[in-house]
Structure 1
Amino acid sequence: MLPAQTDSILLWPAGPPLSKPNELVEKTWTTNVMRVKDVTEPKLYTFLPPAGQRNGSSVVICPGGGYRILAIDHEGYAVARWFNKRGITAFVLKYRLPNDEAMDEKAIVPLLDAQQAIRLVRQNAHDWGLDPSKIGIMGFSAGGHLASTVGTHFKEPVGSIADTTSVRPDFMILGYPVVSMLETTTHGGSRKALLGSDPPIDLVRRFSNELQVTPATPPTFIVHSSDDRAVPVENSIRLYQSLVDHGVPAEMHLYESGGHGYGMAESDETLSSWMDRLSDWLKGRDIW
């Protein structure tokens, strides 16, 4: 359940670009985690620290779910509340999931929504008491793929958007991320959902974000587990090496065990220490 101070903002008040008539109805349900699917009206949920405690930094959080669902609580709302306790304003992004029935060019629609989220936060930074040069992107699993796409594809924003506000995030935080779409490295379900069953190699390479790093890619923090059987740890290793090769400040923490999908891992004393490492990194970069 969302706290009282949380509000939601439509990304596209005039209607989402690239949408087409469809019969999808958004669904939210909880088994072991809260899930959302069939998103047709993308939104930003705002999590504002109490007045007087905001330090000007902010982060847009992209929940994961294989580009099929959004694990919106433990990879979204709960993480946003953690940031709020540290004076950082957080925004949880409920983005559209690739669907041929509901949209054209499904491969770029999640990126279109995520870039719009960065755009809106930067445009409205003054109203929220934010520093427009301290806006980050965070993502878990497939949401980590989306976040790393935002962090490597900002030079030429997707969609026919006239607004020239920068969509480059100022830092990236990636939790057990899908990074590559190369068949030997990727998470097969995420690749199929985003790119289709037999995507052309140029599309595969375009969305293999370890291949898209440049010196302008923002500083990045990565966490992953060696025993991740869903998203191979090689995704993070390849991205980290590419960041280092391009002179981008990067920090990576690999845990021997932990599997996949643990969010903040609050019930695991060892694994949850990754949030302490993130705290140190945020302080070192003057974000917290």
Structure 2
Amino acid sequence: MAAAPAVGLRTASPDVAPPDPVEAIRLWPGAAPGGERVTVTPRVVERSTDPAFRDRFAQYTTEPILTVLRPQRPNGASLLLIPGGGYKWVVVDKEGLDCARVFAEAGVTCFVLRYRLPGDGWAAGADAPLQDAQRAMRLIRGRAASEGLDPRRVAVLGASAGGHLAGLLTARPGDSIYEPVDDTDHQSAQPDLTILLYPVATMADPFVHAGSRRELLGPSQTPEAIRRYSLEQMDWVGSPPTFLLHAVDDEAVPVENSLGLLSALRAARVPVETHLFEEGGHGFGVRLIAGKPAAVWPRLVLEWAARHGWPART
């Protein structure tokens, strides 16, 4: 098997952020399901004042999309990236486009998901983001062959609350949470590999990220809802190989989220690789970890994935 290619973060100029990709795919052929009572107005907010990088978040999304980054030399592998944002918004750059550029440089065709949020009035409530994640995976897989990609090499990478959503996508492949809208919905929604960066895993005290739980489940969370949406309490038997990454000094989403999930994956005999770093905090993506030991994580992911036959193709 060919070795994973070297990767690094590139920008158009040291002083100017790289341009946005121009290709986007709407998830749904019409309106997203269950939006009859949705009245929010979409917005994208820029938090950075430095021209060298962008730091945006999308809020009140009503038309979920996949933003596509195509490598110059595609290797046939695809990656669905699900950024975090505590289910309150969706980070655009830090855990989306910035990470996608690194993997596209390694030959992977990347799809960054901008998903709907559970508190915006969608009929599916807590399952609205999962509807979008399932639809996104099915679209990527359904289009793969016609785009020269391998439908059996589609991975997901989720960060923070996006890691929770990627975990739901992986552990609940048989859940029918929306009515099929076309032939694409006959595709499998389960990824072939799962990569979780500092994931929100549990919905239970004492290690829950309280903001994600509140946004996902509302102000009154029942024990049944907490159990249903806690990744470490799900049935992972038969799930694909999984990669976990977390910083021990993460004060927002405690490392116990990954440790509890690791125990569940091992009990289910899921192949799992876990990397814990002494420092890094939370939400570091690729830019905020530069120069620190955890900066090697994309290389670790690619080497692990190559052992499972994902990114490398000669």
Q: With the length of structure 2 as denominator, give the TM-score of the two structures.
A: 0.87
Q: What does 1:241-256 align with in structure 2 at a 5 Å threshold?
A: 241-256=263-278
Partner of 1:179: 201
Match of 2:164 among 137, 145, 149: 145
- Match for residue 273 of structure 1? 296
Three-state SS of the structure 1 residue aligned to 2:171 is: coil
The answer to whether 1:189 aligns with 2:196 is: no
C-alpha spacing 1:2/1:129, structure 2 compared with 1 (3 Å): farther
Where structure 1 has 5 or more consecutive residues not aligned to the other structure, the ranges are: none
The reply to whether residue 285 of structure 1 matches residue 305 of structure 2 is no
Write out per-residue CA displacement over residues 185-211 of structure 1, whole angstroms, 9 at most, x where no aligned residue: 210000000001122222211111111
Alignment of 1:1-288 (within 5 A): 3=19, 6-32=22-48, 33-50=55-72, 53-100=73-120, 102-161=121-180, 163-264=185-286, 265-288=288-311
Matched letter for residue 109 of structure 2: T
CA distance in 2, matches of 1:57, 1:179: 26
User: Measured at CA, do residues 5 and 196 of structure 1 come closer, stay the same or move farther in structure 2, by a change above 3 Å?
Assistant: closer
Task: Report if aligned partners of 1:47, 1:90 keep a CA contact under 8 Å in 2.
Answer: yes
Amino acid paired to 1:286: G
Conserved in 2, the CA contact under 8 Å of 1:115 and 1:157?
A: no
Report if the CA contact (8 A) 1:64-1:139 is conserved. Answer: yes
Deviation at residue 2 of structure 1 after TM alignment: 6.9
User: 1:117 deviation in Å?
Assistant: 0.2
Distance 1:213 1:58 in 2: 26
2:77 partner letter: S
Shift of 1:257: 1.3
Amino acid at match of 1:229: E
Which segments of structure 1 move beyond 3 Å, counting only runs of 4 or more? 1-6
Structure 1 CA distance for aligned equivalents of residues 208 and 199 of structure 2: 10
- Report the alpha carbon displacement of residue 119 of structure 1 after superposing the two structures with TM: 0.7
Contact conserved, 1:157 with 1:167, CA < 8 A, in 2?
Answer: no
1:3 Cα deviation after fit = 4.5
Q: Deviations over 1:38-57 (max 9, x none)?
A: 1111001111112xx21111
Aligned residue pairs: how many?
285
Gaps of 5+ in 2: 1-16, 49-54
Separation in structure 2 between the aligned mates of residue 224 and residue 78 of structure 1, nearest angstrom: 18
**Residue type of the partner of 2:44?**
T
Q: Deviations over 1:83-103 (max 9, x none)?
A: 111111110000001124x31
My pick for the range that moved more, 262-271 or 211-220, is 262-271
Higher relative CO (Cα under 8 Å, sequence separation at least 6) belongs to 2
Among the aligned pairs, what percent are the same residue?
38
Distance 1:103 1:2, change over 3 A: farther
Query: Aligned to 1:271, what secondary structure does the other structure show?
Result: helix
> 2:102, 2:298 within 8 Å by CA — same for their partners in 1?
no
Tell me if structure 1 keeps the 8 A contact 2:21–2:67: no
- Cα distance in 2 for partners of 1:105, 1:120 equals 20
Displacement of 1:123: 0.9
Please say if residues 139 and 147 of structure 1, whose CA atoms lie closer than 8 Å, have aligned partners that are also in contact: yes
Separation in 1, partners of 2:21, 2:162 = 25
